[in-house]
Amino acid sequence: MTRIQERHSFARKTLLPALACALIAALALAGPARAGDNLKQGRAALERHDIGTALALLQRAVVEEPGNLDAHSAFALALVQGHRSAEAKGEIEACSKINAESEVIPYLEGRLAESQEDWDGAIAKYRAAIARRSKYADASYSLGMALRHQGKSQDGLAELNRGLDFARENDVPRFLSGIGLALMDMDSLSAAADSATRAVALDPDNVLTHVALGQIYLKRGVYSLAKMSLDRAVQLDTLDPVVYFQLGKANYYSQQYSDALQSFKTAAALDTLYADPQYWIGHLYVLAGVADREKYSLAAPFLRTYTRLRPGDSKGWLDLGEALYRSPASTEDEFKESAAALDKSSAINGNESKAYLLMVKVSAYKLKDFDKAFAAYNRMQAAGAKLSADDILLVASLYTYKSMFPQADSVIAEAIKADTTAPDGWFKMAESKFFQREYAAAIPFLQKRIDVDSTGERSKIGVAPFLPYYMLGQAYNQIQKYDSSTVFVKMALAHADSATTKPVDLAKMHLELGTAYAKGDSLSRELAKGEFASVIEADSTSQQAVSAMYNMGYTDFAAKKYRESAEMLERAQGTIERNSPPLKPRLDVLLLLASSYVGTKDYDRAREVAKKGLALDPTNNILSKIAAPPAPVKSKPAGTGTAPGGASAPGAAPSGDASSAKGKVVGKNPPASTVPPVTTTAPKKK
């Protein structure tokens, strides 16, 4: 055998088996190493709040090492932070199967209870964990912070100081931060800042220490330093929703509201089940609603989420009730939701006078439930709430709406006496007189209201600028001073901003003006047509539009323009029927439409419409005549004037007064003159 062959033989017999054994050993070690890496990397991802990555890595670690308690406990903690409570509970049970006596099990149960806002339950579990191992740093820290949350800051401080005594070096900054926050709760702000500052100095790259120091600066009112600390925390961890939430508060108290809103929205996006930013987003929109009422609509979804996540907090229900009450887009159902939210707020916090006051407003103004409004007012008084001058006028409105006029007038008179230059008292007194139908008595109060505030800019109870003028026009109309009525309705329209005035209010004013013009000469009647057209343009689907169409149709009917009259009245009837929900049927529209069809000699359609009218008023004599079937044609001797085919000549009618026929057949072709408002007497047969 050659030397080379000997070397190859040695390699095959000696080196290759040795290398194979080494490879097998390496592969055997590789599995646990990968499992250990997944656990280590998963914990790191959890610390930097990358929950998705942490869950994937830790689930892999659990699969690779099903008997590893550390892997299961880390995975359970990640599930808790990811708000996957049912899965977290299952993983905790898996930990218990591995080691039922482990202190980590009650600790994890405490974290799960805390995530579900069960703070008392969490405290009990943390104490159970410490009972199993007294020097358990994670449980000690969590217990101290939970006691803080429950308002037991002294007990929390004691536990955090106890934990600091045995904390490992890398845990010291965390305990110092917690101690600083407990001292902050107890208003020992200088000592709190010292403790948190020491924590930052010991671990300047620890997010938790910067957040704690930022919170303490917020409590001290040093907002610029709070922002600096929290900005640094964001630089260290861009995925922690708590950091962005605290930064949002710093921006809010620094009056940087746009930045605050963005920070809160980032926190909410990072954790959609994190309750606090949901409230603050909604709260900011409620505050902004004073200047832009559309913001109230934006607030409602966030506040609904907050009250679902934290139903025991009265302020969430209060803001939700206010947002729904003040939103210009709210429906009747949302006003009911507003009332329910305010009920819950006052049930949780019986001393919250704002909730009662809003309840009075939404019940009285939106739901017209004055009994409920009075009940809220009585509860507000029982809570010892002090009423402002504007609130006193609200109470006067309640008395007015309940027809308790002496009480209303007495309250309003006191408000006027307290400040004769305030416009709202004068308006409320006029409103009371309107409710009492004392229109002449209302006029001087409305004139005084205009004298002290002609533009409506000083009203504190939301009286539209046009309304005093419009009410004056109505008052003069009621006392039959039509010229004065027209003047003030014109002034009301001049003070009505088309961008902010409701279409229905614009329609009402144009209708009032058109009705006044219609009572004048031919020139005025032409002006009336323009006003009626403006009603339809402002709000084409309302009862006001139907009234305008009726008036326009009546004008054409009176001028014997029956086809034009029928077209306009068809439009009016179509508006009633096609509206969703349908408007209330109107007998006057059906009567005039049937009469117009008679004028156009469209008797079939006239009868069809008349039958609809009789469904509303079966005793209407005119509609009964129109709806009656045509009389049967009798044969006549030759030469007596019959039309070809034996039918009566068109336009023929029986002699006598058709208005006294009482249901008898008026004729196959009753003439238009048988229907009011022209005449109800049929011409005599020639």
Q: What residue has token string 């009469």? A: 595
Give the number of other CB atoms < 10 A from CB of residue 52. 11
Alpha carbon 178 to its chain centroid, in Å, reads 39
Task: Average the pLDDT over 165-179 and give the result.
Answer: 96
Give the number of other CB atoms < 10 A from CB of residue 115. 18
Higher pLDDT, 658 or 425: 425
Q: What is the mean pLDDT of the chain?
A: 86
Q: Angle of helix 405-418 relative to helix 423-435, nearest 10 degrees?
A: 160
Asked if residue 484 has pLDDT above 60, the reply is yes
Name the maximum alpha-carbon separation found in the chain: 152
Q: What residue has token string 């048988």? A: 674
Higher pLDDT, 355 or 682: 355
pLDDT in tens, 509-525: 999 888 888 877 777 88
Give the number of other CB atoms < 10 A from CB of residue 438. 15
393 three-class SS: helix
| Cα gap 49→52, rounded to integer Å | 9
| Cα gap 387→381, rounded to integer Å | 9
pLDDT in tens, 491-513: 999 999 878 888 999 999 999 88
pLDDT bracket for residue 462 (50, 70, 90): confident
Q: What is the DSSP string of 636-681?
A: --TTS-PPGGGPPPTT---SS-GGG-TTS---SS--GGGSTTT--P
The H or E element containing residue 530 is: helix 522-538
pLDDT bracket for residue 633 (50, 70, 90): low
Q: Quote the pTM value.
A: 0.67
State both tokens at 548: 């305008």
At 456 the pLDDT is 86
pLDDT bracket for residue 635 (50, 70, 90): low
At 35 the pLDDT is 53
Task: Average the pLDDT over 142-153 and give the result.
Answer: 96
pLDDT bracket for residue 112 (50, 70, 90): very high
At 34 the pLDDT is 59
321 three-class SS: helix
Task: Average the pLDDT over 88-100 and give the result.
Answer: 96
Asked if residue 22 has pLDDT above 90, the reply is no
State both tokens at 366: 């939106």
pLDDT in tens, 328-348: 999 999 999 999 999 999 999
Asked if 327 and 296 touch (Cβ cutoff 8 Å), the reply is yes
Using omega within 30 degrees of 0 as the cis cutoff, is the peptide bond preceding 581 cis? yes
